Chains A and B, each alone.
Chain A
Amino acid sequence: MLIDPEVLDRVIDHALRNGGEFAEVFAEDRTSMSAVLDDRKVEELVTGTSRGAGVRVISGETTGYAHTADLSESGLMKAAEVASAASRNGSEQGHIRQVALEEAVASNPSIVHVDPSEVAKSRKIDLLARADDAARAGRDPITQVSASYGESKRAILVASSGGRLVEDDQVRTRFSVSCIALGDGGMQTGYETAARTTGFELFDDVEVEDLAAKAATRAVTKLSARPAPSGELTVVLASGGGGVLFHEACGHGLEADHIAKDSSVYVGKVGEQVAGSLVTLVDDGTLGGEWGSYGIDDEGNLPGRNVLIENGVLGDYMWDVERGRKAGRNSSGNGRRQSYRHLPMVRMTNTFILPGQDDPDEIVAQTPYGIFVAQLGGGQVNITTGDFVFGMTEAYLIEDGKITAPLRDANLIGNGPEVLMRIDAVANDFGVMPGTCGKDGQSVPVGCGQPTLRIQGVTVGGTAG
């Protein structure tokens, strides 16, 4: 255990000395290793460690937080004092006695078979070299390849005044390839990644040559791409590649902190039809191996399979401890933080649309004119208006029901509530993609997924008339 339970008891007690209803110690020990091959050279091998703890005290409307890299009792006591100082401004006074800590057991849904830190570095380097060769093989236009391997192990411990004491080990392994192709019209880029909450056995399932070939093909294909059109069009999203749309279009707006502050377009809409009846949206942190999964969230709560929208009807929001407490309900296991240096807040885990009945090829065949988006990059949303953008990094025109010319990169823009109502076909396939979600200055790993689906009327931000 990162910290002795008796020490934790005393620290939590100390944290509540100025009053407050809730105190918590979050401790984290993280080690990571990464290796990058770029310009045909293995350039950068990095190993790192970071360890520390944060103490949180909630008193009335006020949260105090302080952290330390010193995990001794005196270091933690000092953090507890700083965190509790804020609660003098809180509305409630008086010490509330904590319940004795009782260790709870959490099991991480992701099983690690091969601890990546035990694997020889030479094997990781070998993956990079194989990806480099595979990306360039038979593709003259490829001028640059960057391949990156990364692993991390994060041990966390959460102890709170409610008596909960729980630990979790979170292991992540990832590999990505990015390529540049040069043609008459300039340069184009292609990217592909695999990332799972598993160990080195990731590479039993994923061939780095396949990732490299996909990234390289993407860049080469775009050399002959034409500028994307501009204006409202029908868009078909390929399975997996477009999950970020729902992360932006409605995921963020369903986070309870935005709801509590009346800043989301989804305030007061529980029970209402907010999407087409083909749409069921789930946030699920219990999926073994997926990038956004964990054994406990960063407040010590178990993740759940939370159905947010069912057949188009809004069922619930996502909650953390603080927002749940204020609304008189439990956390949904969505309290996350980037590290022990950060306050937790409501975050998504793996967010996806469930498959429907349609045949993916038929959806394209029945689209006279539009855009087929095979891969989306990042996105961004304005919670207040619901307007969101997302970048397409591999896209094609659909003409007469057939996928035709490749298109250059562009953003698409839409309005979350409107786009959800305009989904008129959902296929029976499915795919999830790993990503990194940024909110209020903090980044956490998430998964996004969906089946192939069609949206009528999304604005494509290209340059062609």
Chain B
Amino acid sequence: MEGDLLDIAKRVAGMAQRGEQVEAYVSRNVSTEVRAYNGELEHLVSASSDGVGIRVIAGERQGFAYTGYLSDDSIAVTLAQARENAVFATADASVSMAEPDGIAAVEMDLLDSGLDSVSTEAKVDLALELERSARHGHRQIRQVDSADYADVISQEAVANSEGIAAYSEHSYCEVSVSVIAGEGSQSQSGSGFSVARGFDGLDLEKAAGDAVHRAVRLLGAGKPATAGYTVVFDPRVTATLLSVVSTALSGEAVTKGRSFLAGRVGEQVMVAGALVVDDPTDARALSADSYDAEGLASRRIVLVEDGRLLGYVYDSTSGARAGHASTGSAVRSGFASTPVAACRAVVLSAGGSSGTDGNVQVSNSGPGGVASGGVARGDHFGAVTSARNSGTVGGDLGDRKPGQNGTSGYGAGEIISAVGDGVYVQSVTGMHSGVNPVSGDFSVGVEGLMIRGGELAEPIREATVASTLQRMLLSIVGIGSDVEWLPANAAGQTIAISGMMLSGN
């Protein structure tokens, strides 16, 4: 298999003419998707697709073309189109391809070789079992909207005329389930999932249990009163938030003045103690890869240390624009896309030092004037110790995943307890419509529960929480150790942020 794709990529790169650079990115995905509904197989989709994206730079001008058809003829036409497209681009000394930089790739085993031999029947059975398990998870479950199994084995090869030749392969499996709980005339939905590299790593019980728990606990939800609060984010929400923040750390956004974090290297942009690392060489991350999408070795990048911004992530072109080497941070959304600089496997922790995921609490000793207006008890937060057992309060996430992350528990329970009075956000909507990583404006729809007296209280819906990203990063008052590795470019854990506005009635 490797032979195939890397050979194609190298062959295309070898077609570079004098005075021209050529890069080929070839990918192939083989996937299965199963959905169970009402005790039966609803659909089974077997898919495989491949294609090549070809980039040409000639005379400081870049052109790109792609095809979803890997025949020699199709590749020849695509290369010709990329060349023609380059003619129309503006000359730009910064456009560049990766050149070998001597950094060795970290070898990781990201392909579960057993997945290939799992039968379709076994996959169907798993989805059916997931559906059953969710349906019977609680007496108030009215409906299992969908119960899915999905897997993909992906292969990527990239080669260019400057001597780059890289190949990697990955596998990924997921079960996900969405349920509806009902009580009287009210219905609430909840979803749960489990992800792994191989079939055997999937945890049905967790997926079904999460979905049921999340739907049932929202029953009876009402619209809260408008007020300022400390807000506690569920790990999934935190991952989404970090993912949005990470777009502002892209060298591409920064060099084009499209980031609220542009020009702020060396400044305190997060609360003291916060550490943000982008580490695609951490095999626990589902987005881990030995190489980036331009074929350079992936590397660990410390972006924020003790709350101070250290730098950004770059691909070759945005790096050249900023006078910085590529950080091995090129990503592509497929063979049809050109590479762009982006964070790949972001993890937030409260270690302070950049060594390990340390034990995790943040003292609220950020710079003076950190917004905490209208927040009850938020500023007591730094005093909470991390020595307590997980899950003593609220019976939430910490409860169900003790020890999973190899660190002693400082999870949702402790954070909720320390917040005292606030809002626990289980899920958000409108991240794409209400969060602006240029201006920093932040406003999202939320579902969750009020926190009263250090415990989870009544459920809420049809509300928003709002602030600005700038203020939120400086107002983090708790970072849990309950890190969850999610199918995203950021991991998440329970965090608390003070001084947010909850809008409702």
Contacts and interface: CB of A to CB of B under 8 A. Distances in A.
Contacts of B463: 413, 459, 461
Interface in A368-424: 376-385, 387-391, 408-415
Interface string B421-437: 00000000110111010
Nearest to B434: A411
B389 interface: no
Contacts of B502: 230
Contact of A187 (B41, B188, B260, B336): B260
Contact of B45 (A35, A65, A180, A462): A65
A43 B89 contact: yes
B143 A411 contact: no
A153 interface: no
Interface stretch (B8-16, B67-75, B288-296, B307-315): B67-75
Interface residues on B, range: 35 or more
B501 interface: yes
Contacts of B505: 231-232, 459
A415 B221 CA distance: 13
A193 interface: no
13 contacts: A45-B89, A66-B47, A69-B69, A186-B439, A262-B143, A343-B45, A380-B445, A385-B187, A387-B445, A409-B439, A411-B466, A461-B444, A465-B501
B454 interface: no
Interface string B238-260: 00000000000000000011101
Contacts of A65: 43-47
B180 to A, nearest CB: 5
B443 A45 contact: no
A62 to B, nearest CB: 5
A387 B93 CA distance: 49
B433 A390 contact: yes
Contact size range, A: 35 or more
Interface string A39-83: 111111111111110000000111111111100000000000011
A385 B143 contact: no
Contacts of A46: 64-66, 85, 336, 338
Contacts of B434: 377, 389, 391, 409-411, 461
Q: Which of A64, A261, A411, A413 has the most CB of B within 10 A?
A: A411
A85 interface: yes
Most A CB contacts (10 A, CB to CB) among B45, B66, B70 go to B45
Most buried by A among B47, B69, B70, B143: B47
A65 B33 CA distance: 10
Contact of A231 (B84, B436, B504): B504
A63 B260 contact: no
A61 B260 contact: no
Interface of B: 37-38, 40-51, 62-70, 74, 78, 81-82, 84-86, 88-90, 92, 95, 120, 124, 142-143, 145-146, 180, 187-189, 223, 226, 256-258, 260, 336, 338, 429-430, 432-434, 436, 438-441, 443-445, 447, 461-468, 501-505
A121 interface: yes
Contacts of B466: 228, 230, 410-411, 461-463
Contacts of B90: 40-43
Which applies to chain A's interface (DSSP): helix, strand, loop or mixed?
strand
A357 interface: no
Given A85-B120, A461-B465, A463-B501, A62 B41 contact: yes
B226 A230 contact: yes
Contacts of A232: 505
Given A391-B443, A410-B434, A461-B463, 16 more contacts: A41-B89, A43-B89, A43-B90, A47-B81, A49-B66, A49-B67, A61-B42, A144-B256, A144-B257, A187-B438, A231-B504, A232-B505, A388-B445, A461-B503, A463-B468, A463-B501
A189 interface: yes
